[in-house]
Structure 1
Amino acid sequence: MDASQGVLLSSSLVGPANGSASWPELLGSRHWDGLLDPLDLTLRRLILLCGDLCQVTYDSFNSDSHSKYCGSCRYSRPTLFARTTFPAAADVAPAAYLYATSQASFPGGIMVFSLSREAWSKESNWIGYVSVSTDAAAAATGSASSTSRGAAPSGSSSSDERSPFSKHSARDQLLAAVRELVARYKGESLSVVCTGHSLGASLATLSAFDIAVNGVSRVGGADIPVTAIVFGSPQIGNPEFKKRFEELPNLRALHVRNKPDLIPLYPSGLLGYANVGDLLAVDSKKSPYVKDNTTNVGDYHNLQGILHTVAGWNGKDGEFKLQVHRGLALVNKSSAFLKEDNLVPESWWVERNKGMVIGETCTLAHVAH
């Protein structure tokens, strides 16, 4: 699974900038000039916040085909951030869920479905959420957000009248939600941030472009900033797309890439693909906490491994040292990347009892939360 999301964030969510950079500069108004090396502390916090928002989609998606709720979100909107231990849960509240359908039928396809005859849906998957900053967090600038699970980009433009969840495509749901939130907060200073990991990073970049080019981010004739902050993104467009992307004055993209990660190298430039946006290159091999020569190349692409590297990154010539408080155990949330002497079990994030409970008849059943 890959995670992606779009968020309309407030500067209050990442703490004071201490005079190092303004909020527009953190969103790339100057293409992060002077903020990447050394990595600005407030920008580092913003990047980690975006990564944690991505992680919510990984931690809440039900991929168990034995459950009749397979393909849905495990948690209700009011409990989503609390159940996934999102660190800024007090500052952001989910406002709506997004659903997608896909007409693709091939082994190992992007969508997952339940084996149950009583499945919650035979056509749709939950792919994310729309959220908004709480009044307290948005007091300074205003904030709202939307999030989509990047494992289903092929269904993002498909609709299915048979499904009560996907009568409109995920793209239409997303744009409608952003329009509604922008209209609601039009009297405040707004900024849209789209974020994602892996395939979801590609979707987040395309979503940011879609929001900007179609005027969804326009308030009273003025464009608000739209920024994609993405992790481990494959290449997504040709030079013409890159040119069009860079022509939009309110659109920016920052790609956080782990140097040993191979995924961002594909599809190859030999096939006509071009890199979009600015690059923050980090190298997890500099961390003394992770395995020096892991045999699992996926470790270099793992989201939590990338976020750990961002937390301690001090430039290619600097010593790796954590600059923010971030638990080491997060690295092994869905991997075995940490060295054994850290005493953290591998892939430790699992739903309690795999979502099974004992009912009144003493039988086991999956439950929705």
Structure 2
Amino acid sequence: MVPSTRSTLRRNIASLASMWREIQGSNDWYGLVEPLNPLLREEIIRYVELVDACYKAFDLDSSSKRFLNCKHGKASMFREVGMASSGYEITKYIYAAPGISMPAQQDDAGQSRWIGYVAVSADDETKRIGRRDILVSFRGTVTSTEWLANLMSSLTPARFDPTNQQPEVKVESGFLSLYTSNDSTCRFGQGSCREQLLKEVTRLINQYKGEELSVTLAGHSMGSSLAILFGYDLTELGLNRVHPSCEIPVTVYSFGGPRVGNSRFKQRCDDLGLKVLRVVNTCDFITKLPGMIMNDGMRVIGGRYELPWSDSCYTHVGVELSLDFFKLENPRCVHNLETYLGLLKCCSMAESVKKNEEPGFIQKAKEMVARNYEAVHVMPWQDAARQVGDLVQSLGF
């Protein structure tokens, strides 16, 4: 594994408290993405590690009493995955149900499963980063029913606001199913993923009302889609506007995320002030899908004339940060979160190379990411389920 960057973070981002709003996208990351601002890079790395904790803590042993749940309790989870100094305290675990039926022999058929957690920055971390940060972290696709749910590659109205349902705002039906479906038999979490999130984040906003607050949603692959859906939902309902003169910024850090909705969905997210930073490896085809054909490029002609089928086109939301420092020789790696972490950590090495022309940088970077990937220690079938699931989802069957 690449060594923890926690000590580096504490040294390098002492000025975060003075410019956290810009880092969270208040100006759409203008001037911070190209070239990648070192302060922003370290914040992105921090959130990658907080998402990676979900993978490390997820229990996929079907013989375990915590199967499809987190292996550890809320108070000990960060410590157990090697992140005792994360600076956050977990307040709630979040569960999601695919909302589809599966053959009975499937170990995870019909069950809710742990999808991530809600956490809040502790006092010391709050002082360091300049505000009280409410964090929601989502893992990506792992189990068979999750990727089968993702096969439902069709656009459907979101209709989150009961007073203004906006049927033209459409999102991918598989992601919507994971977000809104409820498994009444779940012994760990009650209510849909959506209901759990809205209740807990609203509670925390009210608890820390009067403090400087931010809401940060971070996820990988399928998890980034859930993060964007929740960010849209939260802002559409106005739950981040606790006072007319005090709007809590809501930011999504998306890692290897697919498209989530149509152009109307993108426009609505922009209108609501939802900030999304999409971190993508240009070799990762998942970030280009669903919508291999019906996508952003099919909406208009000559940049001016919107075509009649534009509402059926998938469109990315937010600002893209592209990572492409070398071509990976192992195609299994391109979508893995550990690869994203390795690429981000290579950024500082790349800057050093530009200045000093250090020989052998490319080879060193390849070796680092290769070591990073091999250290994931996932079982072959688990890795295959994740990769095949994302592949089939992305083909839009």
Query: With structure 1 as the length reference, what TM-score do the two structures score?
Result: 0.74
Q: Confirm or deny that 1:106 pairs with 2:147.
A: no
8 A Cα contact 1:38 1:314, kept in partner: no
**Match of 1:22, SS?**
helix
Q: Give the distance between the partners of 1:148 and 1:345, measured in 2 at CA.
A: 20
Q: For 2:258, give the aligned amino acid.
A: P
Q: Which residue of 1 aligns with 2:374?
A: 346
Q: How far 1:107 moved relative to its partner?
A: 6.4
Q: Give the distance between the partners of 1:88 and 1:15, measured in 2 at CA.
A: 15
Q: For 1:307, give the aligned amino acid.
A: L
Output the aligned Cα RMSD. Answer: 3.4
8 A Cα contact 1:131 1:145, kept in partner: yes
Q: For 1:304, give the aligned amino acid.
A: E
Q: Give the distance between the partners of 1:164 and 1:275, measured in 2 at CA.
A: 36
Q: Give the distance between the partners of 2:331 and 2:266, measured in 1 at CA.
A: 29
**Match of 2:56, SS?**
helix
**Match of 2:197, SS?**
helix
Q: Which residue of 2 aligns with 1:124?
A: 112
Residues 153-203 of structure 1 deviation map (CA, whole Å, 9 limit, x = unaligned)? 533211233334343111110111000001111111101111111111111
1:32-181 matches, cutoff 5 A: 32-86=29-83, 88-89=85-86, 91-106=87-102, 113=108, 123-139=111-127, 140-151=130-141, 153=175, 154-181=177-204
Q: Which residue of 1 aligns with 2:345?
A: 311
Q: Which residue of 2 aligns with 1:8?
A: none
Q: How far 1:137 moved relative to its partner?
A: 1.6
Q: Confirm or deny that 1:254 pairs with 2:277.
A: yes
Runs of 5+ consecutive residues of structure 2 not aligned to the other structure: 1-8, 147-174, 295-312, 356-363, 380-397
Q: How far 1:342 moved relative to its partner?
A: 8.0
Q: How far 1:338 moved relative to its partner?
A: 5.4
8 A Cα contact 2:259 2:315, kept in partner: yes
Q: Give the distance between the partners of 2:283 and 2:94, measured in 1 at CA.
A: 33
Q: Give the paired residue count.
A: 309
Q: For 1:94, give the aligned amino acid.
A: I
Q: Give the distance between the partners of 2:84 and 2:32, measured in 1 at CA.
A: 24
Q: Give the distance between the partners of 1:41 and 1:320, measured in 2 at CA.
A: 15
Q: Give the distance between the partners of 1:13 and 1:86, measured in 2 at CA.
A: 17
Residues 284-305 of structure 1 deviation map (CA, whole Å, 9 limit, x = unaligned)? 41xxxxxx552x4231111111
**Match of 2:29, SS?**
coil
Residues 311-359 of structure 1 deviation map (CA, whole Å, 9 limit, x = unaligned)? 22269998479xxxxxxxxx9xxxxx953998789245479xxxxxxxx
Residues 16-65 of structure 1 deviation map (CA, whole Å, 9 limit, x = unaligned)? 2379x711111111111111122111111110011011101100001122
Q: How far 1:232 moved relative to its partner?
A: 0.9
8 A Cα contact 2:279 2:321, kept in partner: yes
**Match of 1:130, SS?**
strand
8 A Cα contact 1:234 1:266, kept in partner: yes
Runs of 5+ consecutive residues of structure 1 not aligned to the other structure: 1-10, 115-121, 286-291, 322-330, 332-336, 352-369
**Match of 1:126, SS?**
strand
Q: Give the distance between the partners of 2:103 and 2:261, measured in 1 at CA.
A: 26
Q: Confirm or deny that 1:282 pairs with 2:323.
A: yes
Q: For 1:282, give the aligned amino acid.
A: L
Pick from 260, 264, 268: which aligns with 1:240?
264
Pick from 324, 327, 336: which aligns with 1:302?
336
Q: How far 1:15 moved relative to its partner?
A: 2.8
Q: How far 1:306 moved relative to its partner?
A: 1.1
8 A Cα contact 1:133 1:144, kept in partner: yes
**Match of 1:132, SS?**
strand
Query: With structure 2 as the length reference, what TM-score do the two structures score?
Result: 0.69
The structure whose residues are more often helix, as a share, is 2
Q: Give the distance between the partners of 1:239 and 1:269, measured in 2 at CA.
A: 15
Residues 122-147 of structure 1 deviation map (CA, whole Å, 9 limit, x = unaligned)? 83212221111112222442232233
1:312-327 matches, cutoff 5 A: 312-313=346-347, 319=353
Which has the larger displacement, 73-82 or 132-141? 132-141
Residues 221-267 of structure 1 deviation map (CA, whole Å, 9 limit, x = unaligned)? 33210011111111111111111111113x11110111111111111
Change (3 A) 1:261 1:220: same
Q: Confirm or deny that 1:27 pairs with 2:24.
A: yes
